[in-house]
Amino acid sequence: MKQKFDFHKVISILRTSDIISKVEIKDVDEIKGRGVYKLEMRFIQTEEEILYSYQFFTDRPIMRWDNAPHYPKIKTYPHHFHMKDGNIIESELKGNVIEDLHEVLSEIKNVLKEHHFSVS
């Protein structure tokens, strides 16, 4: 049996988390059979690290960068990259948000160009 997505429960969990300082619902677009929920969250940063996840997706994930400590054998541990085909490889990201965003946006732009989307 397919599990129903409970948006309100997700919001409740996020709002009571001790690592998130703010949750704001930006947009809810529910149509028959699917929903898109856009949230803005502010995380609490520890002195030791910044946890991150950058994702690019359509109706399914295309690529994702993060530093969750799941793949200790990867040379750039904990930083890693999830490819569209499911492979997980080394990542160029270092946890510096300003520098990393440039890399993420550049990679997304390349994917859009490969699929012949107009990008400047």
Residue 32 near residue 43 (C-beta atoms within 8 A):
no
Check pLDDT > 70 for residue 1.
no
- Looking at residue 76, its pLDDT comes to 95
Encode pLDDT of 64-112 as tens digits.
999 988 999 999 999 999 998 899 999 999 888 778 888 888 888 888 7
- Looking at residue 93, its pLDDT comes to 92
- Looking at residue 39, its pLDDT comes to 77
Residue from 41, 46, 52 nearest 16 by CA: 41
Encode pLDDT of 26-74 as tens digits.
888 888 777 777 777 776 666 666 778 888 877 777 889 999 889 999 9
- Looking at residue 105, its pLDDT comes to 83
- Looking at residue 120, its pLDDT comes to 53
Burial (CB count within 10 angstroms: exposed 0-12, middle 13-18, buried 19+), residue 51? middle
Residue tagged 């397919």 (tokens)? 2
Burial (CB count within 10 angstroms: exposed 0-12, middle 13-18, buried 19+), residue 71? middle
